[in-house]
Structure 1
Amino acid sequence: MTFQKRRKTLRATLSSSACIRPGSVYDAISIRIAEDLGFELGMFGGSVASLAVLGDPDIALITLTELAEQMRRMSRASALPVLVDADHGYGNALNVRRTIEELEAAGAAGLTIEDTLLPQAFGETKTQLISLEEGLGKVKAALDARRDPSLVIVGRTGAVSIASLDDAIERARAYEAAGVDALFFTGIKAKAELEAISGATRLPLILGGAPEAMSDLAYLREQRVRIALQGHAPISAATKAVYDTLKALREGLPSKVLTGLASADLTARVTRETLVGARSALFLGTKR
């Protein structure tokens, strides 16, 4: 599947009447698993990118080059469309243009640009926002940098919890007027907040970090939410599995009695062993 087809698939999701939950992906194996399980979309979060690439917490240490290269690896491994958390665009509005260029070339189906002040300012312990004017400049720069018109660009804000609901709506309307394809909100804690946002905007909505009371997909559909994130459990589960396995081996447990390991069949499927074997036979003359 070409990059453009992946992007059109994401656009079809946003224009539908359904609300989906994407699979959290972070490397070649995780994206293949998500694809094989039937997920319509992968979500490559900034926090999991930092964990997978650097082993660091989500404090904006990862670089654009590292993020784009990881996306490139996933694009090679799977045709699953991926929405990338591009954080603040790695700098000012001109840096945002470069971010769009690199992630578009790496095969992202869509990406989000947020108005959080990143990295954290000296002496500040609370999350801060950039001004609406600066945020709007970043959004416009992102749209200007897009070369494939099917690439999805999403304006993201956490203003609901950082500033106020009114501020979040003002920012969303400005990003909407600038021409983004969807709006991404974090920090929404109550149905009344989501309903106010839905009533004040027109674009498809993407929701991150909502409480359990807002997990009903039928309700979210009514509020025009088309993508509802469900956290990044896969990388957390993988970390626990690796830890437990290495701990058991370190403590002397024989490898043949370990539990929770991938079967030979599962390993063959996610590594596309049959396909690789067929190519070896075709191009190298190997016997299957």
Structure 2
Amino acid sequence: MSPAAQLRALLAQDKLHVMPCCFDALSAKLIEQAGFGLTFMSGFATSASRIGEPDLGLMSYGEVLDQARNITDAISIPLIADGDTGYGNAMNVRRTVSGFAKAGAAAVMIEDQLAPKRCGHTPGKAVVSREEAFDRIRAAQEARDEGADILILARTDARHDHGLNEAIDRARKFKELGADILFVEAPRTVEEMQLLCRELPGPKMANIVEGGETPDLPHDELRDIGFSIAAYPLTLMAAAMKAMTEVLQSLSSDADRTPHLMDFKTLRQKIGFEHYYEVSSRYETSDR
């Protein structure tokens, strides 16, 4: 099956899909190795990893597309790519959607923030008019109709400045325009999460940022509320940064750093050395 077909099959299941978010090929491989069925390329974590800068619209379309291509080359589970605002007007949205489809993404997220976009749980974000927001999703759908084998994840950040009702209204229209998955960013209470799931049709995604505005609920509760996907955009990045900071402190003070380290054998196995050796053994002239 194509990545898009794989994702459609997952969404057809009556369950919550827990989705750790990746930021590069290695983190995506670890997610797949841990048994998760899909992943999302977190814009926040990817910006931090690739350019060492905050998620404030600093990465270009080409940089994000390249990162997505590296990830899809490394895994067999579906990847949802972060298409931000589509990188321009409706015509740019069409190009963004087609580009991510060609890169092997199963879905692409298009949002209604004003460019340059911002992380959904940080200050200063604003949304475009309804008309411009709807044009973006319409353009994404038309790009798919013209051959892009990809699902559309439509996101609204209208809750921040305009309230939950406006966000729900926008998301409902996104669905009418052809969006496959709906994402209302940053509901602030369990009651708001319940309301948006009652009001909106089709698969819906919860975005769980540890320390963010949306309640960090147990998986069973998220499922019972009505979410199909629970995304964890910063869990791996936060864990990796904490581990690296702690081991750097140990190295600086010449303390024992082994408690912070994965053993070398496991490290090689997870990166893929053993698989490489196994495959290359079939060819006498391969460099071992």
Pairwise TM-score range, normalised by the shorter structure: 0.7 to 0.9
Deviation per CA, 1:224-252, whole angstroms, max 9, x where unpaired?
31001234121122223223333433444
The alpha-carbon deviation at position 112 of structure 1 amounts to: 0.9
Deviation at 1:282, TM superposition (A): 2.2
| Offset of residue 50 of structure 1 | 0.4
Query: Which residue of structure 1 lines up, in the alignment, with residue 13 of structure 2?
Result: 16
Q: For 2:11 and 2:56, how far apart are their aligned partners in 1?
A: 29
Please give the secondary structure, in 2, of the residue aligned with 1:225: coil
Identity rate, percent = 28
What TM-score do the two structures reach when normalised by structure 2? 0.88
Query: Tell me, what secondary structure is at the counterpart of 2:86?
Result: coil
Asked whether the equivalents of residues 4 and 78 of structure 2 are also in contact (C-alpha less than 8 Å), the reply is yes
Residue 112 and residue 282 in structure 1: after superposition, are their counterparts in 2 closer, same or farther (change >3 A)? Answer: same
Which residue matches 2:38? Answer: 41
Give the 3-state SS of the residue equivalent to 2:259 in structure 1: coil
Please give the root-mean-square deviation of Cα atoms over the aligned residues, in Å: 2.4
1:75 and 2:72 are equivalent in the alignment: yes
The match for 1:134 among 129, 132, 135 is 132
Task: State the alpha-carbon separation in 2 of the partners of residues 109 and 116 from structure 1.
Answer: 22
Runs of at least 5 residues in structure 2 that lack an aligned partner in the other structure:
none
Q: Is the 8 A contact 1:158 1:186 kept in 2?
A: yes
- For 2:262, what is the secondary structure of its paired residue? coil
Residue 155 of structure 1: aligned partner: 154
Going from structure 1 to structure 2, the CA distance change for 1:149 and 1:99 (only over 3 Å counts) comes to closer
The aligned amino acid for 2:268 is A
The alpha-carbon distance between structure 1 residues 260 and 175, as it changes in their structure 2 partners (threshold 3 A), is: same
Name the CA distance, whole Å, in 2 between partners of 1:71 and 1:287. Answer: 29
2:117 is aligned with 1:115: no
Kindly state the Cα deviation for residue 41 of structure 1 after the two structures are TM-superposed. 1.1
Paired with 2:221 and 2:248, the residues of 1 have a C-alpha distance of: 43
Counterpart of 1:27 (choices 14, 24, 27) is 24
CA distance in structure 2 between the aligned counterparts of 1:280 and 1:13, rounded to whole angstroms: 34
Give the equivalent residue in structure 2 for 1:233.
235
Unaligned runs of 5+ in 1: none
Q: Closer, same or farther in 2 for the Cα pair 1:248/1:199, shift >3 Å?
A: closer
Map residues 141-180 of structure 1 onto 2, 5 A cutoff: 141-146=139-144, 150-180=149-179
Q: Which amino acid aligns with 1:192?
A: E
For 1:89, give the aligned amino acid.
G
Q: Indicate yes or no: 2:208 matched with 1:206.
A: no
**Whole-Å Cα distance in 1 between the matches of residues 34 and 273 of structure 2?**
18
Task: Supply the distance in 2 between the matched residues of 1:212 and 1:201 (Cα, whole angstroms).
Answer: 18
What is the DSSP-based 3-state SS (H/G/I as helix, E as strand, rest coil) of the residue aligned with 1:128? coil
What TM-score results when the alignment is normalised by the length of structure 1?
A: 0.88
- The answer on whether the counterparts of 1:194 and 1:223 sit within 8 Å (CA) in structure 2 is yes
* Residue 156 of structure 1, CA deviation: 0.5
Instruction: Establish whether residue 65 from structure 1 lines up as the match of residue 62 from structure 2.
Output: yes
Q: Would you say how many aligned residue pairs link Structure 1 and Structure 2?
A: 280
Measured after TM superposition, the shift of residue 195 of structure 1 is: 2.8
Shift of 1:150: 4.6
